[in-house]
Amino acid sequence: MRHKKDIRKLSRNKSHRKSLLRNMAISFFQNKKVMTTEAKAKQLKRVVERLITIGKNQNLASIRRINSYLNHQPTTKIVLELGQKFKDRKGGYTRIIKVDRRRGDASKMALIQMVE
């Protein structure tokens, strides 16, 4: 039974899925938006919002937790800045906008971007 299994496997094994989401999170924080498939966007939203929530606490432990996931120093600074920006907001830092289907294989596409 599949009860309470909330992770999307995205047709990849664990290490491939982790590196995919890590790279997408880094590019999201650098560009403030990413165009991807709907399933990847929904999974990326979970990752990004958790990192921003961790970034609200400006202490050494939160910096190390963010850096251990992203493993990219400039992006860690961006996440900490976003944590300060959204200090009073309880969640919902990103939005997913559904766009037209992809031309090659007609898969559902979505744009994930920061709420400002």
pLDDT score, position 102: 97
**pLDDT by position in tens, the chain (length 116):** 989 988 899 999 999 999 999 999 999 999 999 999 999 999 999 999 999 999 999 999 999 999 999 999 999 999 999 999 999 999 999 999 999 999 999 999 999 999 98
Residue indicated by tokens 């309880």? 90
Q: How many domains does the structure of the chain reveal?
A: 1
pLDDT score, position 22: 97
Q: Check: CB of residue 24 under 8 Å from CB of residue 16.
A: no
User: What domain range includes position 54?
Assistant: 14-114
Residue 109 falls inside a structural domain? yes
pLDDT score, position 59: 93
CA dist., res. 99 & res. 101, Å (int): 7
Residue 30 falls inside a structural domain? yes
The 10 Å Cβ neighbour count of residue 18 is 13
Question: Is residue 17 helix, strand or coil?
Answer: helix
